[in-house]
A and B are shown apart, each in its own frame.
Chain A
Amino acid sequence: MIALLFPPPDWALLGEIFIRFLLLSLLATGGALAIAPAMHDYLVGQRALLTDAQFVGAIALAQSAPGPNVLFVTVLGWQAAGFWGAAAMTAGALLPSALLAVYAGRIVGNNPQSRFMRALREGLAPLAIGLTFATGVLLITPWVEDLRMMAVVLVITVIAYKTKLQPIFMIMAGALLGGFGLLG
């Protein structure tokens, strides 16, 4: 078990992951879910460190825990490379944007309503929204022929959009449905 949690660190891989996530972090306008497609492309596609099911599972686990959704990267890290993977991905995904927030925040904070700041905020919003949907599309792709999974996605989309029901209850319902083997 311990060996599983703390695999001997593969420093070359960890370094590559860390740098990859550092760069992504700086492109993450609109939050962590907006760069999920890029993470997916790297972790599931190019490096084949994770499966589709593990990737979406990480997002599900993070959403079922309290705290910011960005912590799905911590789960991805654990799954891909144990403790050091979790540390590399979490630090990589958070550090650059965090430093920028403090230093850029001090500069632009003096004039948040300037034309440039408004254009930046409003002009990048469509990209962030598009990327959020793209994340959704990418994640359902493996299930397109699975009617029951697609039905759950659809129903939850409507409920979460139309009502203020706490997400944790929906996730618990999903866990029950799936746990009883009703979703194949």
Chain B
Amino acid sequence: MSKLSPAEGSNPSASDLYWSFTKMSLQAFGGVLPLAERMIVGERQWLTKREFVEMLGISQTLPGPNIINLSLMLGDKFQGPRGAFAAVMGCLSFPILIVSALALFYQSVSDQPIAQGALRGMSAVSVGLVLAMGFRLLGTQKDFKVGWLAIACTVIGVGVFGLKLTMAILVFGLPTLLVRYWQIARKARQEAQ
């Protein structure tokens, strides 16, 4: 990141980063990002709204979960690799313990019909949540027609016909990327004229 000091004087230490991200991730059930904005821009004022949106944009572009990428980049910005490590561990350490405890608890009761039934119900809800996430993301694609085609092809190819991920990236991802680049370049040319 460029060397900028967003809100004057904010320079969180590694321990600040760790505990702030820990507190945030422990409050986050199903989606950490909305809480991240509230904490980073609102409460702690580590970034301005604009800086947050830019950093989020980059973290969405890079592979890996957005919140993980965002915490790494934010930590790195303030305290270098130590800060990145502290922030990402804040996101992960307690949640990993909790999710492991849940997994082990479930394993220990998994021969009980009640537990099996409960997990079955939770699973159905979970899939509904995944699909709803897909529909919410669709809303960001309104003016990108080629994008719709790529989405449809990916769903059918991967979801129904079991197309491999690498193939999906090559056949649907790369062409869409090139089309988008061409569209952006064309728009820039038109605006320049």
Number of A-B contacts (CB under 8 A): 384
Interface size class of A (residues with CB under 8 A): 35 or more
The verdict on A101 contacting B72 (CB below 8 Å), with A122-B144, A123-B178, A130-B154 known, is yes
Assembled-state Cα–Cα distance A72/B122 (Å): 14
- A156 x B30 contact (CB < 8 A): no
Contact present for A132 and B100 (CB under 8 Å): no
Min distance, Cβ B162 to any Cβ of chain A, angstroms: 7
Assess A139 versus B117: contact at CB under 8 Å? Given A101-B64, A102-B73: no
Contacts known (A116-B181, A119-B177); A127 close to B28, Cβ less than 8 A:
no
- Structural contact, A127 and B154, CB atoms closer than 8 A: yes
- Contacting B at CB under 8 A, from A33-76, are 33, 35, 37-38, 41, 53, 56-72, 74-75
Residues of B within 8 A of A166 (CB): 29-30
Size range of the interface on B? 35 or more
Contacts of A68 in B (CB 8 A): 25, 28, 32, 65, 67-68, 91-92, 95
B residues sitting closer than 8 Å to A (CB atoms) are 1-2, 25-32, 54-55, 57-69, 72-73, 76, 81, 84, 88, 91-92, 94-96, 98-100, 102-104, 106-108, 113-115, 117-138, 140-141, 144, 146-148, 150-155, 157-160, 162, 164-166, 168-169, 172-173, 176-181, 184-185, 188
